[in-house]
Amino acid sequence: MSSTLGHDHDAELDPPRVQEVSDGVFAYIQPDGTWFINNTGFLVGAAGVTSVDACSTERRTRAYLEAIAETSPQPVRTLINTHHHGDHTHGNYLFGGATIVAHDRCRDEVLAAGLPYFPGVFQDVDWGDIKVTPPFLTYSDKVTLYSDDLRCEVRYVGRPAHTTNDSVVWLPERSVLFTGDLIFNGGTPFMLMGSITGAIDVLEQVIKPLDPRTIVPGHGEVCGPAAIDDVLGYLRFVLDLARRGRDAGMSPLEAARDNGLGQYAGLSDRERIVGNLHRAYADLGDGEQGEKLNFAAALFDMVAYNGGKPLSCLA
């Protein structure tokens, strides 16, 4: 099977762009939203800028900061991390002077992950001179901050989903929701480090009731609430496939190879089906949602599904 889009370099990608989604509220969209190419966003106030997430590499984070500076002369005073993954936190160290805010577990997981090191899993990436910089203002449930008078509710989702430490940023007066990687728009959702069943619960019980008009997803184009059902459909597909694979005595890799992706075959990073099945098998077992798995084994099963080739990463 071929890797995602088959690119060898990022010259074929459209450049990142700033998109105003509400007055003074901006999404920073990085095409094409595949491995380690995430979205961020920022709110501009008279006293400073609030950023939602950083980027994966030094180069990409510096470009993001330049885009903020071109939009507002105010400094970034606050940086919110929606979860610990490196595409959202590697660039933290470049936000000098900003208060870095996240869930308690996000800090722990950033420190545990350390510097990026994925030999044999991804194509070579120029990460830059990354310095691990965890959040230093943390919360267990939620915290509210303001951009001038605009209320920004930063909420832990309550259980493992994309990771064990996902938060969303909700602007109730504007009906704008920054979801982090709870929503992938046009790309394959990835729950290996969280929980398939937990993500379904979170999307149904936490995200849907907010009834957001505008969603800034962790990857892909700005979208509306229909994207929630799109992700739910994929996760239910994975869970059903996991049940059938377990009943047949298949490994996650075997179950993925033995079944097509149906309507989800057109999503980017489709090798994630294998990692998602590893997590779904665990969810259907006797352990707890979000329990530690053999992540290396799951990643190399994804490489095997990809024809033995490292996964395409254009970050």
What does the domain layout of the chain look like in residue ranges?
Answer: 10-305
Q: Tell me the C-alpha distance between 157 and 259, whole Å.
A: 32
pLDDT(106) > 50: yes
Decide if domain 10-305 falls under CATH 3.30.2320.80: no
Amino acid 9: pLDDT: 45
Q: Give the number of other CB atoms < 10 A from CB of residue 171.
A: 20
Instruction: Tell me the pLDDT band of 3, cut-offs 50, 70 and 90.
Output: very low
Amino acid 11: pLDDT: 54
44-51 mean pLDDT: 96
pLDDT tens figures, 216-266:
999 999 999 999 999 999 999 999 999 999 999 999 999 999 999 999 999
pTM of this prediction?
A: 0.95
pLDDT tens figures, 73-100:
999 999 999 999 999 999 999 999 999 9
CA 206 and chain centroid, separation: 17
CB 290 within 8 A of CB 160: yes
What backbone phi and psi angles, to 5 degrees, belong to 102?
-170, 175
Amino acid 2: pLDDT: 36
